[in-house]
Structure 1
Amino acid sequence: MFASPHVAIAALVVLACCSCTLRPLQGVLVPSNELVEGASQVPILIGTTRARSGSDAGEMFSRDPSNEMAFGQVTVSIPPDASRAVGEIQWPLSPPGDPRKDFVTASAEYLDRAQFGNAITSLAKARHRSKAMVFVHGFNNRFDDAVYRYAQFVHDGRLPVVPILFSWPSQGAANLGSYEHDRKVALESGVPLVQLLDAVNSNPGVREITLVCHSMGCLITLDALHMKASRGGTTSKLKNVAFVAPDVDFDQFISQVGEMGPRRPRMGLFLSQDDAALKLSKSISGGSNRVGDINPDQEPYKSAIAQQKLLVFDLTHLGGDDAHSRAFDEISSVMGMLERRLAQGQQLGEDTSRTASAR
């Protein structure tokens, strides 16, 4: 059952992962050769089920699906902190942009599978990193959206990781047809995510993996982890999974997490009770409660969370205009928590202290 057309349209407007900041529709990933003192270079390794773009060199990968996993690497130049608002992406008005004040693509290249593995090893060695982080984006993301958002997340959070993006073929459009399309594609993307995790897990340069998903990307992540567990397999280096604003039915989530058994990685939920996007997603999906906007102190959520030993971070108190992307905008939430724990060698579930943002 769907909500009324007016509610559905409103839902799709606010379900977008990225901010409403205007950005170029083409050419974003065309590299710029201009170097600026104080700018930061953030390399993002990519595994994607998108097809190569045939119409826009600056798109790199399109919204069309591919039957095979493709690989790449994009290095994003982020302007000095004094010239930008931390927690935001400064899109250029027109590519390639000004690296003094804009996010700019410093380099972009396609890789084959072997080159992808070598790039992980090289980056881990060059940056003295033994931990990888795999990020799964959500609904309404173009490829360049996902790359720039992840670069912002890693940079502003000062995360000591090898960053790897899993990009699935979201349509990158906010309309009812695209939402239904994206959900269908998400439900078909668990297998390639498992394949990517296996590739990262087998890399000798990686000692530990953290998996972070956002919104509809958490549906893919849940499916991949459940699929792996149901087949009796494990991803031995995967230690932490962070579900950020998950657009997933709560009962489905708890059921599948429970079926993974005790060998599953530690799991953290990052939610906001005022997440309007997820409340509207609930309406579109026929009234099923979404994990990302529950009140964790109410039943039946409280008991179910305790039974599954999930760590919950309630970000409601942080405020801001966009609760659905709050975790990426606020340095004190997901980014700050992950930076502190990864830097100290801790896992998601090791800190049992009660803080303002953790329950």
Structure 2
Amino acid sequence: MLLAPLLSACGHPVGVMEPVSISPTSTRPTQIEMLVATTRQPSGDPKTLFNGERSPKPFLTEVAVSIPAKRDSGTVQWPKKLPPDPVTDFAVTKVKQVATLQEGRSWFRQHLEGGHALVFVHGFNNRYEDSVFRLAQIVHDSDMKATPILFTWPSRASLFGYEYDKESTNYSRTALEQSLRLLAQDSNVKDITLLAHSMGTWLAMESLRQMGIRDGRVASKIKDVILASPDIDIQVFAKQYAEMGQPKPKFTIFVSQDDRALAASSLITGRVARLGGIDPTKEPYRSRLEAAGITAIDLTKVKTGDRLNHGKFAESPEIVQLIGQRLMTGQPLTDSNVTLGEGLTAVVGGTVETIGTVAATAAAAPVTILENKPKPEPGDLKQTLDSGRDPQPLTQ
């Protein structure tokens, strides 16, 4: 029953990565250029570029996507037939393989947006092209001023490939860590925002944890980490967070108690609550989120066209703007310039403030995941979130 809506959600043509030309007589669509790093295996087909199998080495590719002028914010305009029409559809207009790291650095410097870099990690059940179009949509609709970089890991894009996909995130964690490290070492980069969705949040957390264990802390240029619908066991997240070392980046999580994909994940993983499905206004979550400095934004009452309620962070025009204009620039959510419609409330440092009324709730601020022990020994990392059970279990 939980998988039924997932099965009916597919329907767009496959194989859109072969570049198309834009007619000089047509209205020029917006172009989003990105650098794509992947641990996927090359497919040998220019229509798909990479498949869902694992590659022993990573690949870099320059990709440009055109976005039609007439479309609703928050949507990806998939073509109804191939090749795509740039006037009405999202369409790839450029693909170029990057042979060396030097070429990658050169591309980045040519596309630098104020020294700000956005690294996006997609979630479960995604093809290469799905993640490319999603990042293009996020960058366009958020109006963010940052250089977009996509990290896409080997997903078989199958509803029945959950375990394979999860293992693929583990397979890819060192490659993501190295990608973040290379970015942080570039003198032209001022700051990095890491945005991850669904199962991709597990990969993001594992890579940051590895970096913290190696270096004693996460690279200082990684300023903001945004986890959307995180498909992570709550206790495991607590451990990952603790083992990153100090100081940590600023964390923001988007949660929703009506997320049907996370409800299915909870069933698959033994009815253990997922981080993306908690109610951050309820204890013990609220106090511990406040103690650790993690901002949690509850999107339960935000309505989008997503029947699974799993992609609200990208499909709500107001929320995607919030990401691009405030969260990834480190701005607070509690001033009069934030307006999101009806019902969004923020809890920051123990204070509750209303931010418009988008019919959602946000809990924010500094979650100690470490126990309050007097003078803890270095490396004595113990999580104190709770048993992992949600006070109000997720239902369909």
Task: Assess same fold via TM > 0.5.
Answer: yes
The answer for the alignment partner of 2:60 in structure 1 is 71
The answer for the alignment partner of 1:139 in structure 2 is 124
> 1:197 and 2:187 equivalent?
no
The answer for the alignment partner of 2:86 in structure 1 is 99
Decide which of 290, 312, 325 is 1:340's aligned counterpart. Answer: 325
Tell me the distance in 1 between the aligned counterparts of 2:225 and 2:188.
20
TM-score, normalising length from structure 1?
0.88
**Amino acid paired to 1:217:** G
Whether the aligned pair in 2 keeps the contact of 1:266 and 1:349 (CA below 8 Å) is: no
Aligned length in residues: 337
State the Cα deviation string for residues 33-79 of structure 1 (Å, max 9, x = none). Answer: 1244241000011111011112x211111111111111001100000
The answer for the alignment partner of 1:240 in structure 2 is 224
Deviation of 1:277 after TM superposition, in Å, equals: 0.9
Decide which of 6, 12, 32 is 2:20's aligned counterpart. Answer: 32
Give the secondary-structure state (helix, strand or coil) at the position aligned to 2:154. Answer: coil
Decide which of 59, 68, 81 is 2:48's aligned counterpart. Answer: 59
Q: Which has the larger radius of gyration?
A: 2
Whether the aligned pair in 2 keeps the contact of 1:32 and 1:106 (CA below 8 Å) is: yes
Whether the aligned pair in 1 keeps the contact of 2:67 and 2:86 (CA below 8 Å) is: yes
Tell me the distance in 2 between the aligned counterparts of 1:21 and 1:156.
23
The answer for the alignment partner of 2:39 in structure 1 is 49
Higher relative contact order (CA 8 A, sep 6+): 1
State the Cα deviation string for residues 224-255 of structure 1 (Å, max 9, x = none). Answer: 11111112243121100000000000111122
Moved over 6 A (4+): 348-351
Deviation of 1:11 after TM superposition, in Å, equals: 8.1
Decide which of 254, 262, 268 is 1:270's aligned counterpart. Answer: 254
Deviation of 1:307 after TM superposition, in Å, equals: 2.1
Deviation of 1:301 after TM superposition, in Å, equals: 1.6
Tell me the distance in 2 between the aligned counterparts of 1:185 and 1:21.
22
**Amino acid paired to 1:39:** P
Decide which of 201, 217, 229 is 1:218's aligned counterpart. Answer: 201
Structure 1 pair 130–214 and aligned structure 2 pair: CA distance change class (3 A): same
Decide which of 296, 314, 324 is 1:328's aligned counterpart. Answer: 314
Deviation of 1:92 after TM superposition, in Å, equals: 1.2
Deviation of 1:159 after TM superposition, in Å, equals: 1.1
State the Cα deviation string for residues 60-107 of structure 1 (Å, max 9, x = none). Answer: 111111111110011000000xx2122111111222211111011110
Tell me the distance in 1 between the aligned counterparts of 2:332 and 2:133.
25
Structure with greater helix share of residues: 1
Tell me the distance in 1 between the aligned counterparts of 2:240 and 2:354.
27
**Amino acid paired to 2:86:** P
The answer for the alignment partner of 2:300 in structure 1 is 316
Tell me the distance in 2 between the aligned counterparts of 1:11 and 1:99.
30
Whether the aligned pair in 2 keeps the contact of 1:254 and 1:304 (CA below 8 Å) is: no
The answer for the alignment partner of 1:117 in structure 2 is 105
State the Cα deviation string for residues 121-155 of structure 1 (Å, max 9, x = none). Answer: 1111xxx4310000000000000010001101110
TM-score, normalising length from structure 2?
0.80
Deviation of 1:192 after TM superposition, in Å, equals: 0.8
Whether the aligned pair in 1 keeps the contact of 2:218 and 2:245 (CA below 8 Å) is: no
Deviation of 1:259 after TM superposition, in Å, equals: 2.7
Give the secondary-structure state (helix, strand or coil) at the position aligned to 1:188. Answer: helix
Tell me the distance in 2 between the aligned counterparts of 1:197 and 1:223.
13
Give the secondary-structure state (helix, strand or coil) at the position aligned to 2:311. Answer: helix
Decide which of 138, 149, 157 is 1:172's aligned counterpart. Answer: 157
> 1:288 and 2:276 equivalent?
no
Tell me the distance in 2 between the aligned counterparts of 1:246 and 1:11.
20
Whether the aligned pair in 2 keeps the contact of 1:244 and 1:292 (CA below 8 Å) is: yes
Deviation of 1:339 after TM superposition, in Å, equals: 2.2
Decide which of 148, 171, 174 is 2:133's aligned counterpart. Answer: 148
Tell me the distance in 1 between the aligned counterparts of 2:327 and 2:290.
24
Tell me the distance in 2 between the aligned counterparts of 1:103 and 1:313.
30
Whether the aligned pair in 1 keeps the contact of 2:262 and 2:274 (CA below 8 Å) is: yes
Q: Please, which runs of 5 or more residues in structure 1 have no aligned partner?
A: 1-5, 15-19
Whether the aligned pair in 2 keeps the contact of 1:96 and 1:105 (CA below 8 Å) is: no
